[in-house]
Amino acid sequence: MKPSLSVLLAVAAAAFATTVAATPAGDAAGKSPGAYPMDCSKWKDKARCESLKKDVEACKDKTDDAWRECMHRAAPSAKFTPPKPRDCAKAQNVERCEAHNAALESCKQVATKAEHRKCMSGPAPAPGKN
């Protein structure tokens, strides 16, 4: 038994009517999904949170690729203080300790924690016995 064209149209019309009735109207329709105020007091990096909040507000009228392009800016991070060199006199592996201190010395000019991690992730000497 083949469904007739009128039955198919009636089912499609009913589905469309339910979708239209479920769509929010008025002020709620203007909000994008997932839009909520960000609470920067819970963030570890408050400067980054504030910057992200400003970017979201500035890009709220854009969609798709334009929104991605608008949001794709480097957010400032909190001030980063590189770690201090270790005391290698008490180290179990003196070679590794000295290599770590040399890497710290060569990476001391970086400004952010992410850049520091990338700089420090260079090849390390194989662990050896003292």
- pLDDT the model gives residue 98: 92
Please check the confidence at residue 2 and state whether its pLDDT lies above 80. Answer: no
Q: Are residues 73 and 96 in the same domain?
A: no
Mean pLDDT (whole number) for 5-26: 62
DSSP state of 29: H
What is the secondary structure of 48-98 as a DSSP string? HHHHHHHHHHHTTT--HHHHHHHH-SPPP-----PPPPP-GGG-SSHHHHH
- pLDDT the model gives residue 24: 54
User: Is 19 among the domain residues?
Assistant: no
Decide if 119 contacts 104 (C-beta within 8 A).
no
Q: What is the pLDDT of residues 22-71, one digit of tens each?
A: 555 554 445 555 556 778 888 888 888 888 888 888 888 888 888 888 87
User: Is 50 among the domain residues?
Assistant: yes
User: Is 30 among the domain residues?
Assistant: no
User: Is 17 among the domain residues?
Assistant: no
Please check the confidence at residue 119 and state whether its pLDDT lies above 60. Answer: yes
For the chain, what is the domain count?
A: 2
d(CA 61, CA 70): 10
d(CA 59, CA 63): 8
- pLDDT the model gives residue 74: 60
Mean pLDDT (whole number) for 2-20: 65
- pLDDT the model gives residue 97: 92
User: Is 55 among the domain residues?
Assistant: yes
Range of the domain at 49: 40-78
- pLDDT the model gives residue 29: 47
Q: What is the pLDDT of residues 66-115, one digit of tens each?
A: 888 887 766 555 667 778 888 999 899 999 999 999 988 888 888 778 78
User: Is 61 among the domain residues?
Assistant: yes
Q: With cut-offs at 50, 70 and 90, classify the pLDDT of residue 130.
A: very low
